[in-house]
């Protein structure tokens, strides 16, 4: 945010008459500074330090270019002065820092351009980790024997064919069809404050979503097939429908990031009997804690907005992704964090596959570059220029996984499983 504030101040100083020309020039300098920082920086904190220094340098040079070119009115001078003063702290000690960076670059035989930005060699392109960035390339990788630990991340989209609506699809998504509950806004049904005020809508919705009302989909069966073949390291799911378990995937292989109906507690933390909870849900009655002197509201262990995710999620996310050989992401909008950020947990040498109705988790090139420089996750990269590991299949999840199973030589097994179950 400090970087963004500084650049915003510089752009403000360059607005006004002939501001477009100045901003274009400023953008050129800024882009070169970022590019140089990206190539010169190391990783993590080092990247962040380098990009901060060069962004400040860019800001200083952009301001100087604006001052040299523009003949501004007194009012504009005041605005420019105000913007400059707001950046004073940002650029404190800048000259010495930039000088040291420049000297280091020169000592290494580097050149500077007319804007005093180090001229950096183009980075070496990464060697592709897949033969093709599609399901065929992923299937070939799986069959090669190099892929022994697969982590799967799934969202509501994999359960749509079971009859459970996803949350965000316009028109058919759950959030677009909650008017009958008279909610102040759709997500209120999963908010603690609203639940305390009016728990009835959640209990009515829970009756529709309760496990046992739906059957696993071909996608769930594919994930079980990965387990059966010894390839499934873990399945991280956003879903509360427990269809992964219904498909036969062992509990130790499932991480229910947002909880499910398998356990229940009152809002003070007392354990509630899940059979009693289900009986209340079936009747449409709100359950209260039966501990002596409590009488607090009871809910299944579904993570509401504002609640912490299960400790098991954090513990396993910290280890599973580092060790995986392939990440498969399916049926999710990647709109809810921290789950969405898991796509960046595997190492940069791990291939990734997205099976989804639409592209998600991909930033524009500029933002992707900035996040990498700052040591943050950059999401998927399906571009022809930068992609070396991300495969994409767009369409219904079941169709995508059936194609993957077929290309892996497991098509008949998956079809028989779906017909049998």
* H or E segment and range at residue 154: strand 150-154
105 is catalytic: no
Q: Report d(CA 90, CA 2) in Å as an integer.
A: 8
Catalytic member of 105, 220, 227, 258: 258
User: What length does the chain have?
Assistant: 421
Q: Which residues contact 375 (CB under 8 A, 6 or more apart)?
A: 43, 44, 45, 47, 48
Q: In 305-404, at which residue ranges do the beta strands (DSSP E only) sit?
A: 326-330, 352-356, 390-394
Nearest to 30 by CA among 2, 5, 68, 61: 61
Nearest to 154 by CA among 146, 163, 166, 137: 166
**111-112 and 118-119 strand pairing:** antiparallel
Please tell me what DSSP assigns to residue 123. P
Q: Which residues contact 215 (CB under 8 A, 6 or more apart)?
A: 162, 243, 246, 421
Q: Report d(CA 215, CA 190) in Å as an integer.
A: 24
Would you name the residues annotated as active-site residues? 258
């Amino acid at each position: 945010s400090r970087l963004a504030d500084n650049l915003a101040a510089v752009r403000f100083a360059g607005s006004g008459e002939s501001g477009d020309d100045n901003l274009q020039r400023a953008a050129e300098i800024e882009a070169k500074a970022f590019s140089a920082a990206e190539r010169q920086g190391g990783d993590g904190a080092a990247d962040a330090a380098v990009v901060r220094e060069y962004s400040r340098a860019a800001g200083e040079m952009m301001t100087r270019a604006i001052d040299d070119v523009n003949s501004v009115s007194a009012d504009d001078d005041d605005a420019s002065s105000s913007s400059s003063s707001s950046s004073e702290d940002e650029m404190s000690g800048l000259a010495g820092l930039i000088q040291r960076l420049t000297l280091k670059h020169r000592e290494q035989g580097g050149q500077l351009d007319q804007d005093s930005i180090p001229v950096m060699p183009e980075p070496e392109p990464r060697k592709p980790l897949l033969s093709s960035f599609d399901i065929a390339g992923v299937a070939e990788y799986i069959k090669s024997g190099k892929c022994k630990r697969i982590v799967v991340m799934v969202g509501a989209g994999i359960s749509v064919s079971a009859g459970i609506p996803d949350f965000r699809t316009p028109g058919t998504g759950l959030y677009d069809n909650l008017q009958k509950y008279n909610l102040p806004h759709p997500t209120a049904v999963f908010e603690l404050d609203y639940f305390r005020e009016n728990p009835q809508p959640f209990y009515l919705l829970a009756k529709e979503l309760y496990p046992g009302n739906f059957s696993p989909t071909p996608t769930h069966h594919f994930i079980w097939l990965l387990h059966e073949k010894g390839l499934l390291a873990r399945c991280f799911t956003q879903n509360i429908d427990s269809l992964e378990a219904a498909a036969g995937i062992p509990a130790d292989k499932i991480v229910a990031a947002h909880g499910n109906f398998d356990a229940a507690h009152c809002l003070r933390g007392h354990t509630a009997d899940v059979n009693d909870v289900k009986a209340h849900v079936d009747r449409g009655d709100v359950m209260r804690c039966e501990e002596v002197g409590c009488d607090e509201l009871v809910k299944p262990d579904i993570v509401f907005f504002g609640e912490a995710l299960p400790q098991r999620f954090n513990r396993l996310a910290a280890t599973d992704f580092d060790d995986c050989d392939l990440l498969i992401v399916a049926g999710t909008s990647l709109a809810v964090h921290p789950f969405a950020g898991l796509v960046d947990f595997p190492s940069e040498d791990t291939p990734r596959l997205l099976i989804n109705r639409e592209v998600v988790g991909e930033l524009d090139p500029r933002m992707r570059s900035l996040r990498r420089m700052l040591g943050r996750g950059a999401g998927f990269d399906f571009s022809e220029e930068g992609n070396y590991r991300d495969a994409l299949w767009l369409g219904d999840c079941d169709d995508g996984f059936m194609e993957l199973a077929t290309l892996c030589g497991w098509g008949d097994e998956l079809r028989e499983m779906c017909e049998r179950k």
